[in-house]
Structures are given as structure tokens and as C-alpha cells.
Amino acid sequence: MQKRWKILSADTATVTALHDSLRINRTLCQILVQRGIDDFDKAKQYFRPRLSDLHDPWLMKDMRKAVDRLLTAFAGREKILVFGDYDVDGTTSVASMFGFLSSVYDQVDFYIPHRYREGYGVSRMGIDYAKETGVTLIVSLDCGIKSVELIGYAKEQGIDFIVCDHHLPGKDLPDAVAILNPKQADCAYPYKELCGCGVGFKLMMAMAQEIGLPDTAYLVYLDLVATAIAADIVPITGENRTLAYYGLIKVNEDPCPGIKALMQLAGIKKKMHVSSLVFVIAPRVNAAGRMDDARKAVQLFIEKDYDKALAFAEMLHSDNMDRKEADSSITEEALALIRGDENHLTRKTTVVFQEHWHKGVVGIVASRLIESFYRPTIVLTRSGDYIAGSARSVAGFNLYEAIYACREHLLGYGGHFAAAGMTLLPEKVQAFSDAFEKEVGLLITEEQLIPEIVVDAEIGLNEINPNFYSILSQMEPFGPENMRPVFIVRKAKDTGASKIVKEQHLRFVVRQNNTTLTGIGFNMAASMELLRCGQPVDILFTIDENEWNGEKSLQMKVVDCRLSVD
């Protein structure tokens, strides 16, 4: 698939000034400037984050109200219910808050809504459960900001709410005792991009200060906070970067029994990074809610006995195996449907539907299909008497806007710029598919249908050495708005030693001037023809460390390549 290359630049004078003060590789200074790290003090905070840099939790609107309501509940021996969503952010939020409150108070329960019986967020079934069990205070995490009617219903039942959320508030706010959400227009909290678990962490921080607990009372949950930050795809900037940095230290040195058990089952022996949390921990946690009941994910995270945690981890591991099997088989079926449709090449969208597909993985399948056919994609399946689906977008295209324009064919819909979900009647599938194709065709540009690779900087192979890699590694943790840098090397030539590995991968051995470097391009065997032609090539890559037979060496992880142009 053809890709667009977008090569970033930075102000030369600013890069020079930063280079003069830091005295590190100029190419790295250019990347720092591009990321807003343009002076010595910002660089110091970036490379050496400190827990003392965390903002005062009392700056968050309603923090005093939230803490006071919890203290009132403690004093009155009220029963508290910790409520959260079934995804990674929700389950880690609930586990950490439940663990924290339970350490100082014995009237705490938790509730995770069932994905298929209750749906996302605060549910009527959850409120009814609270009423039946004598709960008078619910702390909702990673949800609640849009639950105006349901929180009103809870109040009628004599149940108060403290809402800890990070999603964008609507026009009307719920009638809660306290709403902790830095995205509220009148909230003075300096950092706006916390995940749900991060907002809960700030409440724990304030509570610990109020009742005189040591910092360890909330810092012990940093591994769960880092897992939520990684899985929820929030920016790895500012406070999130500090939380992820120290959370990863805890993951690697002293993880909670649940994370330790998941790492063991996944066979992890190397150092964990944000990417490890995204691709190893998060899928297993999410699989619990996709395939069964996410309550056991919370049970995993709050379990203090390792052997018991391992039993819960095995359940999640099994759910994930089922998820992978469903994901793989449905993706193959969907690709066959698309390839069997002679009109699909002229379309601007992909919409596929089969009644028997598992509802829990259609969003993943939509993302997989975009890897093969880069266009806004919807995967539909039957859910009871209705059709339910998940949609995923391509970079820069507002998917929600297009679905909103087709709402006359839908029973319900929700989502945001890049992902959405919907329900509709079976007889409306074709009309919705046609309307979606028409609407996207009107809005999308040809450029948006070609995947873009953002390239941070041009580099010479002679710059890549252990000292360069050491500083590059200190730019971690990588993630949104602080991605692992992608470099371009121009006019490199194959040495003749490049070869295809395992039929689909390509081992690069290239030279630029007098410097030779190896690399691996996964699923890039087709690019062997480019290298063999004898012409210079431009290569896009990240840099990582390869270990073989106890020897470490730097290598390129190749993203794309093409013939050089003069």
C-alpha cells in the first residue's frame, strides 16, 4: 500500500540555541523542539520527570466537595460503591480506588457493568444494585459525565454520586455531589489530558493528604495508572508522562500480583515499555469484557495473593485466546467478502455484515480491515433483534460527523472523531451502508485515503551510535504526542547482504557513505526488488536494540522505503 511521507521541520535558531545549552546530538534537539521542548528547563523536566512535579489535586474543581462527601460517608458508616467501565481504564480505575478506600474503610463494594446486558457507562442495573445493597454513595470512574438522567434517577433513590471522568462534558452536567473532570470549562486544573484512572488517582492523592496517609497509599497504584494511560491512548505529555514514567518503574520492579501474573503468562522476560502495556497487558484485560465479564479484571488487580491472582490471570488469558481466534476468523471472512465484491475498489468506505460475527471483536476487525483497505470502515453483526456495529476512521477524517449525517437509518449511535458504534434494524443495513458511502464520498479527500507516515528528522547513518541511542531511550515513555521518533536516511545502498527472512520479512543491510547498518522490515519482503535494483533508496525507520547470542547491537526497524530522487 502506497504511503505519504510527511517530514517535519523545526526553527533553525531555536534548535541551535537548544543544542548549545544541552550539548547533545543536533538531530535529537530538532525533535525536542518539534515537541515543544525548546529550552534547558523544559528539557530537564522532560528527561528527568519527578513525582514532585505532579500538580496539587486541590486545584481540580469540586475536589473539596468530593473529599468531604467521602469523609461524611466514613463518619456515617455509609456503604460506598465504586463504579467503572469494562475497559482497561475503567477496570484499573475501579481496582485502584476500591483498593485505596478499602485500606481505610470497610464498607466498600465495586461494580462493573456487563458490556452486552448494560452497555457503556453508568447503568440503571448498577444503580438498582446499589439500592438493593444499601449503597448511598457511588464513586464513578471513567464514566458519568454524560449520565444526566441516570444520576438523577440515583438521586431519587437516595444515592449520591461523585463523578471522576475525563471525557468531554456535554451541555448539561449531572446532578452529582462532586464532578472531578479537568475538561470542565471552569476547572482550573492545569493538565487537561488525564485518563479516568488518572482522575481517580488525584482523588486518592487528595484523600491521603486530608486524612494523613503516607504518599505510598496512592503511589502503590502507579502501575495501574500507567496501564490505563497506555491503553486509553491519552497524550504522553506533562503529568501523564510523569505518571507513566514512574508507573513503568513499578511495573518493572514491583508490579501488583495481577500484572505480574499477566506478564508471566505472556512469557515476558524483557523490560516492559508503554508498548508492552498496550500489546501485552491491555488486550488480556479488554478481552474479559469483550468475551465474558470484566468483573474478573478488577478481581485480578485487587488480589494480593499471587497464586490467586494467577488464577484470575489465566481466565483473562483464556478470554484473550478466544478473542484472538474470533478476531482472526472474522477478519479473514470480512477480507474475503471485500475481495469478492468487484465494486469495492471504487468505494470510499468499507461496510461488511454477517449475522454470526462476535459483537465483542467487531471494533478490532474494523481496525484490521483498515490495515488492508485504508478507508472509513464499519463492521456489523446481529445483536438480538437488532444489528450492532463498530466503526473506525482513517487519520484526519471525522467519522462521527459522517455517521451523524446518516442518523435517519439508525436506532442509536455514539462515539467520537476516530471511532464510533451504532445500532439499527436489519432491514436498514443496505440503506445505511449506501448513505454512509455517499456521505463519506462528499467529505473525504483523496489524500486522506492514503496512509501518512510522520517523519521526525533526516539522519546520517554515521550519527547512530550507543551514545545517540542512550539519549533517545531517555525520551521514553513513548506514546501519543511523544511517539518513538521516525528517521529518514537518504541515498542508502544495499551492500548485497540484504535477504528475505521467513518468506515475508526483509533483513536490510545498507550502506551510506562509509557507514553500514542492519535493519528488519516486517512484512516488507516485496521491497527486496527495490534493494536489488542497485539504485540508492530512502529508508524510514525507528531505532532499537537487537540482542543475539548475548551481543547487543543497534538496528533499524524499517517502516517504509522508496527509490531516492535527486
pLDDT for position 292 = 82
Cis check for the bond before 190: say yes or no (omega within 30 of 0): no
Name the pTM for this structure. 0.92
Considering the domain architecture, whether residues 460 and 444 belong to the same structural domain is answered as: no
225-248 confidence digits (pLDDT tens) = 999 999 988 999 999 999 999 999
Structure confidence at residue 120 as a pLDDT band (50, 70, 90): confident
Structurally, how many domains does the chain consist of? Answer: 3
153-171 confidence digits (pLDDT tens) = 999 999 999 999 999 898 9
Degrees (nearest 5) of the Cα angle 438, 444, 450?
125
pLDDT for position 153 = 97
CATH number at residue 409: 3.10.310.30
For residue 428, is it within any domain?
A: yes
- Residues of the chain above pLDDT 90, percent: 88
**Residue 452, pLDDT above cutoff 90:** yes
Rounded Cα–Cα distance for residues 159 and 161 (Å): 7
Considering the domain architecture, whether residues 142 and 123 belong to the same structural domain is answered as: yes
pLDDT for position 91 = 96
State the cell numbers at 184: 470542565
pLDDT for position 413 = 87
Considering the domain architecture, whether residues 412 and 519 belong to the same structural domain is answered as: no
Degrees (nearest 5) of the Cα angle 459, 463, 467?
130
For residue 327, is it within any domain?
A: no
Considering the domain architecture, whether residues 441 and 486 belong to the same structural domain is answered as: no
Which among 415, 449, 483 is the end of a domain? 449
Considering the domain architecture, whether residues 270 and 289 belong to the same structural domain is answered as: yes
C-alpha distances out from residue 228 to 125, 341, 507, Å: 25, 40, 35
pLDDT for position 269 = 85
Alpha-helix runs per DSSP H in 232-305? 238-253, 257-265, 274-276, 282-291, 295-302
pLDDT for position 546 = 85
Amino acid in position 83: F
State the cell numbers at 435: 448513505
For residue 162, is it within any domain?
A: yes
For residue 237, is it within any domain?
A: yes
50-65 confidence digits (pLDDT tens) = 999 999 999 999 999 9
**Residue 343, pLDDT above cutoff 90:** no
Structure confidence at residue 1 as a pLDDT band (50, 70, 90): confident
Structure confidence at residue 119 as a pLDDT band (50, 70, 90): confident
* Matching residue, cell 490505563: 228
* Mean pLDDT score, 477-495: 95
Instruction: Report DSSP letters for 160-190, one per residue.
Output: EEEEE--SPP-SS----SEEE-TTSTT---S
Burial class of 537 by CB neighbour count within 10 A (0 to 12, 13 to 18, 19+): buried
- Residues of the chain above pLDDT 70, percent: 100
Considering the domain architecture, whether residues 292 and 382 belong to the same structural domain is answered as: no
Structure confidence at residue 415 as a pLDDT band (50, 70, 90): confident
The answer to whether the beta carbons of residues 143 and 196 sit under 8 Å apart is yes
**Residue 130, pLDDT above cutoff 90:** yes
pLDDT for position 117 = 84
For residue 324, is it within any domain?
A: no
For residue 322, is it within any domain?
A: no
Considering the domain architecture, whether residues 274 and 248 belong to the same structural domain is answered as: yes
- Which of 6, 42, 459, 23 lies closest to 32 in space, CA to CA? 42
Which among 425, 449, 473 is the end of a domain? 449
371-384 confidence digits (pLDDT tens) = 999 999 999 999 88
Q: Provide the 3-class DSSP secondary structure of residue 352.
A: strand
Considering the domain architecture, whether residues 460 and 443 belong to the same structural domain is answered as: no
pLDDT for position 94 = 97
CATH number at residue 499: 2.40.50.460
pLDDT for position 170 = 86
- Which of 37, 15, 31, 39 lies closest to 468 in space, CA to CA? 31
**Residue 210, pLDDT above cutoff 80:** yes
- Which of 348, 336, 371 lies closest to 434 in space, CA to CA? 348
For residue 323, is it within any domain?
A: no
* Matching residue, cell 446481529: 382
* Matching residue, cell 444499601: 134
2-27 confidence digits (pLDDT tens) = 899 999 999 999 999 999 999 999 99
State the cell numbers at 132: 438493593
For residue 333, is it within any domain?
A: no
Q: How many CA within 13 A on the CB side of residue 495?
A: 15
Structure confidence at residue 285 as a pLDDT band (50, 70, 90): very high
**Residue 365, pLDDT above cutoff 90:** yes
246-281 confidence digits (pLDDT tens) = 999 999 999 999 999 999 999 998 899 999 999 999
Structure confidence at residue 123 as a pLDDT band (50, 70, 90): very high
Considering the domain architecture, whether residues 434 and 514 belong to the same structural domain is answered as: no
CATH number at residue 296: 3.90.1640.30
Considering the domain architecture, whether residues 137 and 279 belong to the same structural domain is answered as: yes
Q: Could you tell me the residue range of the domain that residue 418 belongs to?
A: 341-449
Amino acid in position 507: R
The answer to whether the beta carbons of residues 524 and 558 sit under 8 Å apart is yes
Considering the domain architecture, whether residues 69 and 156 belong to the same structural domain is answered as: yes
Considering the domain architecture, whether residues 432 and 481 belong to the same structural domain is answered as: no
Cα 200 versus chain centre, distance: 18
Burial class of 503 by CB neighbour count within 10 A (0 to 12, 13 to 18, 19+): exposed
Which among 395, 422, 449 is the end of a domain? 449
Lowest mean pLDDT among 288-292, 314-318, 319-323, 401-405: 288-292
* Mean pLDDT score, 431-444: 96
Cα 79 versus chain centre, distance: 33
The answer to whether the beta carbons of residues 516 and 495 sit under 8 Å apart is yes
